[in-house]
Amino acid sequence: MIPRYTPPDMARLFSAEEKYRTWLEVELAACEAMEEAGLVPEGTSASLRPLAERLDPARIETIEKECHHDVIAFLTHLEELGGSTARWLHRGMTSSDVVDTALALTLRRAACALIERLDQVIGLLATQVAAHRRTPMMGRTHGMHAEPTTFGFVLGSHLAEFLRARERMLLAREEISYGKISGAVGNHAHLDPEIEARALGRLGLRPEPIATQVVPRDRHAFFCTALAFIASAIERFATNLRHLQRSEVFEAAEPFEVGQKGSSAMPHKRNPVMAENLCGLARLVRAALIPAFENIALWHERDISHSAIERTLLPDAVTALAFMLDRLLRILRGMEIYPEQMAHHIEQSQGLWASEALLLALVERGLGRQEAYRIVQRNAMRALAKEGSFRNLVLEDPEIIARISSAEIEKLFDLSHALRHVDQAIDRLLLQAQRPKEGLGTAEN
Amino acid sequence: MIPRYTPPDMARLFSAEEKYRTWLEVELAACEAMEEAGLVPEGTSASLRPLAERLDPARIETIEKECHHDVIAFLTHLEELGGSTARWLHRGMTSSDVVDTALALTLRRAACALIERLDQVIGLLATQVAAHRRTPMMGRTHGMHAEPTTFGFVLGSHLAEFLRARERMLLAREEISYGKISGAVGNHAHLDPEIEARALGRLGLRPEPIATQVVPRDRHAFFCTALAFIASAIERFATNLRHLQRSEVFEAAEPFEVGQKGSSAMPHKRNPVMAENLCGLARLVRAALIPAFENIALWHERDISHSAIERTLLPDAVTALAFMLDRLLRILRGMEIYPEQMAHHIEQSQGLWASEALLLALVERGLGRQEAYRIVQRNAMRALAKEGSFRNLVLEDPEIIARISSAEIEKLFDLSHALRHVDQAIDRLLLQAQRPKEGLGTAEN
Amino acid sequence: MIPRYTPPDMARLFSAEEKYRTWLEVELAACEAMEEAGLVPEGTSASLRPLAERLDPARIETIEKECHHDVIAFLTHLEELGGSTARWLHRGMTSSDVVDTALALTLRRAACALIERLDQVIGLLATQVAAHRRTPMMGRTHGMHAEPTTFGFVLGSHLAEFLRARERMLLAREEISYGKISGAVGNHAHLDPEIEARALGRLGLRPEPIATQVVPRDRHAFFCTALAFIASAIERFATNLRHLQRSEVFEAAEPFEVGQKGSSAMPHKRNPVMAENLCGLARLVRAALIPAFENIALWHERDISHSAIERTLLPDAVTALAFMLDRLLRILRGMEIYPEQMAHHIEQSQGLWASEALLLALVERGLGRQEAYRIVQRNAMRALAKEGSFRNLVLEDPEIIARISSAEIEKLFDLSHALRHVDQAIDRLLLQAQRPKEGLGTAEN
Amino acid sequence: MIPRYTPPDMARLFSAEEKYRTWLEVELAACEAMEEAGLVPEGTSASLRPLAERLDPARIETIEKECHHDVIAFLTHLEELGGSTARWLHRGMTSSDVVDTALALTLRRAACALIERLDQVIGLLATQVAAHRRTPMMGRTHGMHAEPTTFGFVLGSHLAEFLRARERMLLAREEISYGKISGAVGNHAHLDPEIEARALGRLGLRPEPIATQVVPRDRHAFFCTALAFIASAIERFATNLRHLQRSEVFEAAEPFEVGQKGSSAMPHKRNPVMAENLCGLARLVRAALIPAFENIALWHERDISHSAIERTLLPDAVTALAFMLDRLLRILRGMEIYPEQMAHHIEQSQGLWASEALLLALVERGLGRQEAYRIVQRNAMRALAKEGSFRNLVLEDPEIIARISSAEIEKLFDLSHALRHVDQAIDRLLLQAQRPKEGLGTAEN
């Protein structure tokens, strides 16, 4: 991933240094388990642990150029650093025992970092939902004015989506928390399953029930779907912010910072570029989906075709998503909201939004639904053609006033009545958003 | 979906008749709830329920040609059939209240039908895993002989993947079991949330906590991911069966039925065409993924861009997957397995598979890992170049026999030792596959 | 594809009847070539040609149920209908010789049908471009007012995209016009290449230079990319029409027909549902892309994994695209355009659009670019904050009027000057759109 | 893209330094055109050109942190370096005039670098096709032995695919060779089209006929399809090499270098890891497809959602493809081919491959096709069941020998007869592969 889209914690997590440190972490956990089982001299892992600080990615890559195998290069480097003691490492293990177990640790840590950001998004959104629960705005379907709602309710639907996306990421974190130390074809030919269980237990992982040479790749695909759900939740929010910011609407806007310039040509421009960028990055995160699924059907006990995506698009998707969440947080912290403009648009619609209430009132008075529809639509089309405000046209329509009194008609245009149930859903949602977050007490792992 | 790939139950579930029946089911559930609340005259829904048998899709389509709106056409048809009583239907509701709630019912039923098939797959696979737990075969990585395993263990890794795919489909069934009867912009402007809760309760669904005009589309995307996991599990199995059936391997084969012909040109052909077809259909099921995610970011309270995929690719993916499971069941029921051919390939490898055991033994005797590697690899490469069987070459290598006795070397080539841990994983897996299936007691819904 | 999205010509082209007729067409062309070469008794093809009218898809499917092979079932049916003469059919041929050559014919015909529609789109768009070349509207970037343009120019950019999409479809038609009659592994083991050349020549196709058992699938993938380009061109047009129709903009709208109803709940609604549907269908057409590419890497001389997509998603994508073009034509024929609303939005922007002209004038007077930017941006931000019209603010800014006279400033706000170069691009484009369409004289094939 | 998959020329092409140099190249070409038109003082561009060597990406990024706009940061940096003369740059231009024109230059250069590699692939493949045109091997369909072919013919089908992929890349290079210097909404509000034409002419580009603010993104999508075709051609080759290398087949193998180690656990392993890696990277290149198409439907005159993909997945796809071609070249230079193993597999099939010839001979003798099929299939199935060699079984089948003499039967099993037409296709193909390569004389641009 390019620096522009890489938060510092993700740069660290996916660095070469960190990769090799994680590999060593796995080797040492396995070594400790073997020490306990008497397979390896006691004290081996303790004496090798300090090598973590001396790992040299450049040297490992030099060795790999000759042997064409990254794990062997890594082990050779460890022998260079650690001398003959290092020969006890990797005992009975195959490369994937190290690589896949380390990948589980890395993705688990990535998941924690993403969930932490998600929790901040949820917190900020919840605050805005509460603040704007009674801020009326025009609800829009098909881009056209529909019926009124509140900005808090609209944000609530985004908040609910982020809560669902969070649940899926929690699940994905569990699904990815499986390692393996079961050898070349996964059947523990050279190591007792007990060794595996102990080693993985030290790392906070579970053993893959039946591995091949590798941890099965549907786990990683599930992880990618969880990324895509968060990205899509962000995309929906960003898309709608772009709509709200457009010149003719301008009911809300992303922050525009002091010193910011919107266009190299047009100094008057103030564009929702962060929101647009989020939409673009969502395409990137989703692009990892199909390859992640294509990676599942490995040949026999495994081939290595999955590796290229796991070195590139998978960390890129995680990193881009972390960046997206950071950028979303920046938007949420500085988002400008214009309640008066929202009110203005409701006003402008001249009561058209009450057409359904009118329809229902006519049906209640005994008209057939399609007949009532015809009468209301007639007035609505005249209003859209600017022949008068809808409310006035209705109050003059003989077929309507023959059935409903003016007073009753006026009540149909009562905004607060239309919004009377908004609080109930919002209260329930905010409760859900505030409940203590499970599983994050031990966030590091 | 074309008839070739459409099981009868899926043809029914996605038929026009069934769609309109399900819509009516939703309207009637809402109507009943309104009757209880006194909003609609008692007995309305009871008197309208028999219309389910008289719905005429052709007539509805004719009406739609004029009004360009499918739900209005449906309601108009109901007024034609049911007279003025029908005007009580759809009270305070918007089209999506009907369509999305009905879609939830349909997908929930589809999920049940898929899970039922999955359970059969799991049952058949479990039987084969048990039967072949001790049938040795060559494990293969990168398409090359690696170390021995058993056919039951190989099947076990597929079984475990199907069990995971099943869990995800159970989750998806819950995620999709949400309806809405909350009106044009989801905020219950015309109907009390209590009505919604009761109506959906009757249908076995839950109310969407905060809807827009529609149920949020991340639920449907999640459903599509569950389909893709099952399809990919099938693809991995089918891919490996194709490998096992190829002329040079022929360790297993899909059934070839009496009267079947493999090629119009070559009468000797017997091809794994069902397995290949499963791989192709997996591409179709996965093709629904990206559109399902693209459907999430609807504009404001909704636009209708999601509908085209939900009328086409979504039912096609469900249907294709049901067909895939049926076809997989046919394969599993008739799969031919050739243990003697598996044994032959192990024999042919002349002990090369024991190279790791030899490596470990040398390391244990004090050699550095990379040094030991060099010695073993040297003999292996000679064996691959047909200069002798690996076992014999090893028994003649002075650097080896200086360190390990012949008797000890012979033990390294002991197949049953290599497979000693296979049973443990298989026992645990079979236990998991046999535990009572939750949530399916009420399978119909 | 479901009937809703299936134009009649596509229903015919992809019907079972037509498929078998096309297969017979290929068999007869090959038979004729063999007659000329003396391999088959003269008159064979002539005597069998009438069978085209007697093909019975249901019977063929019954036979296939036994032999599990569609081409063998077809040939068996021909033997039933044509007696022993029919045994001369398929001589030296493999199933793919028939299926792939027939698929080429079908896709070539589909391409012709699509290009014919495209030509109508191009014609209608060109008319509108010409009609609105001087209709000023606000150009928008990032959804925000930028600088003025004309509606004709905006449509011109869509027209140009359709012209490019048409070129790609012409190319795709050529790429797909390859058949093969070269036997089981493509090397003419049983038939002279001369036979193939003659047979394909009769069908208006070229022989695949080096086939495997099949025509290589990159040709079909290229065809799918051509579909996707047209779909994306439609999507861009539809997306922008949706923007133009939204309540706050309403500068243009898709047709709303007499009797049409926009919402089952809200009689005032008039929604861009056709345009939204086009966006949704574009996702479907694009969904064929990845499977089409996944189909390329067949195993050895072929496997049959490509077939499932070619029976389903490929015809669906073609059909959906034909429907999209028909729907787009309906929109273009009835599109409502509101020049006064366009003018209104330019007016509303109070000259902000001239900020760049002002910037350039200041630079020309010797200010540094970033310095000038600062001055202009300052006034623009005040205008956006409704502290006055941009024009007035500028006329009062001492830093500006110290450098530019009022008269010169007024000229910067001259709309016709800003649009002076629009005609040149439009003239060139219209010329391109009107040049005689190549290659369609022989459209049938 | 990670260093592992980045060839040095791609590292340079997509470096920050090169990006800013290319931006300056565009600014200077525009400036020169304006000098010629008298809009800018003569000598401006000449005096600024040396700044190319002094551009400081780090400084530009620092400025961008404040103004949030990369092109403005770049221009500000130029003013820092070039003083007041630099204010003549970017006159009447918008950021996309620079960015999109520079992107066209970059992708054009990338295309040249890819085509150069492709030409080497084509050259190496052509050599092998010629060398192995008469090396018999078993043709395989569905992974099963079909009829014989030659290794040269098999490679020829790959060569033909690379030739088609090359044609598409040539087209894509033309499609991407369009720039724009037409201002904020593409209608030349501030600059004469003549300036644009001259500036782009200097850069070897053509002006976009009708731009919006940007060059339309279908051009970039087309470019991505060309990448995907090359990647898929490589994937098909790599997939088949993996099949040929597998333990049971071993008819060809990728090179295994001195010092290479196949597995950290199993010293005997020699795996087709490069070929597998190519299959994985093909998934990455294809992953750019959908985002590239999603980028097309920008809002109005543009939004910036396309940018994220163009900063990440697009250069990654180009880079990965360059790496793939380099790796493929390494494979082609060192590929090991085992004709004797190919011959062995033909031998092993005991004449089964002649079943079609036998079928045709029986039909020629008057048997109905399906009747003849039954007789031949019966013998083939016995041979597959190891009841005897197919040839012997045939020679003893009374229904066959009643119709065909033994001598005639023997001729059906003649390999050279089966391969008699192979040369013709190969000769034609090699001619095509050797014709002078057009368009590469001026490869640099």
Q: Which of D107, B308, D259, B88 is nearest to A369 (CA)?
A: B88
For residue A246, how many C-alpha atoms fall within 13 Å in the half-sphere facing its CB? 26
More confident residue, D430 or B384: D430
Which residues of chain B does C66 touch, with a Cβ-Cβ cutoff of 8 Å? 259-260
Q: Do A184 and D263 touch (CB under 8 A)?
A: yes
Which residues of chain C does B1 touch, with a Cβ-Cβ cutoff of 8 Å? 312
Instruction: Count contacts between A and B (CB, < 8 Å).
Output: 286
3-state secondary structure of C413: coil
| C227 and C314 assigned to the same domain | yes
Answer whether residue D442 shows pLDDT above 50: no
Residue A259 lies in a domain: no
In this predicted structure, what is the pLDDT of residue D436?
56
Instruction: Give me the mean pLDDT over the B390-395 stretch.
Output: 93
Answer whether residue D93 shows pLDDT above 80: yes
* CATH value at residue D221: 1.20.200.10
Average of per-residue pLDDT values in chain C? 94
In this predicted structure, what is the pLDDT of residue B438?
54
% chain C with pLDDT above 70: 98
Rounded to the nearest angstrom, the minimum Cα separation between A289 and chain B is 8
The nearest alpha carbon in chain B to A373 belongs to: B72
3-state secondary structure of B271: coil
How far apart are the C-alpha atoms of B120 and C41, rounded to whole Å? Answer: 54
Rounded to the nearest angstrom, the minimum Cα separation between B213 and chain A is 7
Answer whether residue D324 shows pLDDT above 90: yes
Rounded to the nearest angstrom, the minimum Cα separation between C354 and chain A is 8
For chain B, how far is it from start to end, CA to CA, in angstroms?
Answer: 23
Answer whether residue B442 shows pLDDT above 60: no
Residue A321 lies in a domain: yes
In this predicted structure, what is the pLDDT of residue C143?
96
Residue D68 pLDDT level (bands cut at 50, 70, 90): confident
Tally of structural domains, chain D:
2
C 291-320 → A contacts, CB under 8 A: 294
Which residues of chain A does C141 touch, with a Cβ-Cβ cutoff of 8 Å? 263, 269, 271
Interface mutation target, options D79, D245, D312, D321, chain A, most CBs of A under 10 Å: D312
In this predicted structure, what is the pLDDT of residue A442?
40
Q: Which are the catalytic amino acids of A?
A: 142, 263
- As given in the structure block, the two tokens for residue A204 are 């906070």
Contact A140, B299 (CB under 8 A): yes
Q: Which domain holds residue D403?
A: 352-412
In this predicted structure, what is the pLDDT of residue A438?
55
Residue C23 lies in a domain: yes
In this predicted structure, what is the pLDDT of residue D438?
55
In this predicted structure, what is the pLDDT of residue B437?
60
| A336 and A364 assigned to the same domain | no
Residue B445 pLDDT level (bands cut at 50, 70, 90): very low
In this predicted structure, what is the pLDDT of residue A436?
56
Interface mutation target, options C268, C358, C376, chain A, most CBs of A under 10 Å: C268
| A88 and A119 assigned to the same domain | yes
Interface mutation target, options C266, C274, C375, chain A, most CBs of A under 10 Å: C266
In this predicted structure, what is the pLDDT of residue C34?
96
Residue D117 lies in a domain: yes
Answer whether residue C47 shows pLDDT above 90: yes
pLDDT digits (tens, 9 = 90+) for D229-273: 999 999 999 999 999 999 999 999 999 877 777 777 787 888 999
C264 tagged catalytic? no
Q: Which are the catalytic amino acids of B?
A: 142, 263
Single out the catalytic residue among C263, C344, C406, C416: C263
Instruction: Give me the mean pLDDT over the D363-379 stretch.
Output: 89
C 356-375 → D contacts, CB under 8 A: 356-357, 360, 363, 367-370, 373
Rounded to the nearest angstrom, the minimum Cα separation between C259 and chain D is 31
Q: Which amino acid is at C252?
A: A
Rounded to the nearest angstrom, the minimum Cα separation between D171 and chain B is 28
How far apart are the C-alpha atoms of A78 and A84, rounded to whole Å? Answer: 10
Residues of chain A with pLDDT under 50: 439-445
Query: Which pTM value belongs to this model?
Result: 0.96
The nearest alpha carbon in chain D to B382 belongs to: D268
Strands A252-253 and D144-150: unpaired
How far apart are the C-alpha atoms of B1 and B7, rounded to whole Å? Answer: 10
For residue D295, how many C-alpha atoms fall within 13 Å in the half-sphere facing its CB? 32
Instruction: Give me the mean pLDDT over the D364-375 stretch.
Output: 88
In this predicted structure, what is the pLDDT of residue C440?
45
| C99 and C231 assigned to the same domain | yes
D 143-162 → B contacts, CB under 8 A: 143-147
Instruction: Give me the mean pLDDT over the B184-194 stretch.
Output: 95
Question: What does the longest C-alpha to C-alpha distance in chain D come to?
Answer: 101
Contact A154, A237 (CB under 8 A): no
Residue B436 pLDDT level (bands cut at 50, 70, 90): low
| A286 and A395 assigned to the same domain | no
Residue C436 pLDDT level (bands cut at 50, 70, 90): low
Instruction: Give me the mean pLDDT over the C82-98 stretch.
Output: 92
Q: Do C143 and A242 touch (CB under 8 A)?
A: yes
In this predicted structure, what is the pLDDT of residue D256?
86
Taken as a whole, chain D contains a residue count of 445
A 218-247 → D contacts, CB under 8 A: 242
Instruction: Give me the mean pLDDT over the C113-130 stretch.
Output: 98
Answer whether residue D370 shows pLDDT above 90: no
Answer whether residue D443 shows pLDDT above 50: no
Instruction: Give me the mean pLDDT over the B355-372 stretch.
Output: 89
Question: Which among C157, C213, C240 is the nearest to D216, CB-wise?
Answer: C157
How far apart are the C-alpha atoms of C373 and C359, rounded to whole Å? Answer: 6
Q: Do A352 and C268 touch (CB under 8 A)?
A: yes
In this predicted structure, what is the pLDDT of residue D386?
86
Answer whether residue D294 shows pLDDT above 50: yes
Q: Do D296 and C236 touch (CB under 8 A)?
A: yes
How far apart are the C-alpha atoms of D362 and D373, rounded to whole Å? Answer: 9
What is the value of ipTM here, to two decimals?
A: 0.95
Q: Which residues of D389-402 are buried (b: 16+ CB within 10 A; e: fewer)?
A: ebbebbbebeebee
3-state secondary structure of D145: strand
Q: What is the DSSP string of C252-316?
A: EE----TT--S-SS-TT----HHHHHHHHHHHHHHHTHHHHHHTT--STTB-STTHHHHHTHHHH
Instruction: Give me the mean pLDDT over the D191-216 stretch.
Output: 97
| A333 and A367 assigned to the same domain | no
Rounded to the nearest angstrom, the minimum Cα separation between D208 and chain A is 19
Boundary-marking domain end, from B76, B91, B106: B91
Task: Check if B259 contacts D (Cβ < 8 Å).
Answer: no
Subunits with 3+ Cβ pairs within 8 Å of D are A, B, C
| A337 and A368 assigned to the same domain | no
How far apart are the C-alpha atoms of C33 and C41, rounded to whole Å? Answer: 11
Answer whether residue C421 shows pLDDT above 50: yes
Contact B40, B34 (CB under 8 A): yes
pLDDT digits (tens, 9 = 90+) for D145-166: 999 999 999 999 999 999 999 9
| B323 and B192 assigned to the same domain | yes
State the burial class of residue D314 (Cβ atoms within 10 Å of its Cβ: 0-12, 13-18, 19+): buried
Residue A85 lies in a domain: yes
Q: Do C144 and A246 touch (CB under 8 A)?
A: yes
| D362 and D337 assigned to the same domain | no
| B214 and B184 assigned to the same domain | yes
How far apart are the C-alpha atoms of A74 and A62, rounded to whole Å? Answer: 10
Average of per-residue pLDDT values in chain B? 94
| C46 and C78 assigned to the same domain | yes
* CATH value at residue C383: 1.10.40.30
* All residues at 6 or more sequence positions from D353 whose CB lies less than 8 Å from its CB, including other chains: B266, B268, D138, D139, D145, D146, D147, D148, D346, D418
For residue B223, how many C-alpha atoms fall within 13 Å in the half-sphere facing its CB? 34
Residue C149 pLDDT level (bands cut at 50, 70, 90): very high
Residue D331 lies in a domain: yes
| A64 and A159 assigned to the same domain | yes
Instruction: Give me the mean pLDDT over the B129-153 stretch.
Output: 97
Residue B27 pLDDT level (bands cut at 50, 70, 90): very high
Task: Check if D418 contacts C (Cβ < 8 Å).
Answer: yes
Answer whether residue B441 shows pLDDT above 60: no
Residue B4 pLDDT level (bands cut at 50, 70, 90): very high
Residue B16 lies in a domain: yes
The nearest alpha carbon in chain C to D426 belongs to: C210
Residue A92 lies in a domain: yes
Contact C343, C307 (CB under 8 A): no
In this predicted structure, what is the pLDDT of residue D57?
96
Instruction: Give me the mean pLDDT over the C179-198 stretch.
Output: 96
Task: Check if A432 contacts B (Cβ < 8 Å).
Answer: yes
Answer whether residue C445 shows pLDDT above 50: no
Taken as a whole, chain C contains a residue count of 445
Question: Which among B157, B219, B235 is the nearest to A212, CB-wise?
Answer: B157
